[in-house]
Structure 1
């Protein structure tokens, strides 16, 4: 499945509430037992994997709650040239 027309909005949720992309340990996603599986760098890798799998380049990220912690790791891990995001909207992210 390729999602390639227009700007893409990728929602990085807090506690569930997504159907195409659920972060580790939420909803129908895998439930790894290792604490290492839940570090934020792994969530950044998952973000990159989902974008690659669906052929999405530079989406707008809408992050809510815990999802707000993922985008800084995406930028740190995958760089800013070219910028992996078109924009980022943060809603009530955890500190």
Structure 2
């Protein structure tokens, strides 16, 4: 079993390599087993033309654009708990 420091170092290395390669994490919304898979294809993978998008923050680590379906309105509070670079929040910021 790995200790906390080793795990943090592995995560740091993995995300560091992703940032250098700019090729994403190698996993899409539909990765892994197809048994009991949920179809997430309703969410866009390319939202570069959406107001608030920040190209420099897009490392392809997220999984679509949930803000498109969240019904966010002016005055709402938005919290991003994902593993991406935060483009969802940048887009939500342009709404709220």
**TM-score normalized by the length of structure 1:** 0.29
Q: Computing the radius of gyration over CA atoms, which structure comes out larger, 1 or 2?
A: 2
Larger proportion of strand: 1
Greater RCO (CA < 8 Å, at least 6 residues apart): 1
TM-score calculated relative to the size of structure 2:
0.29
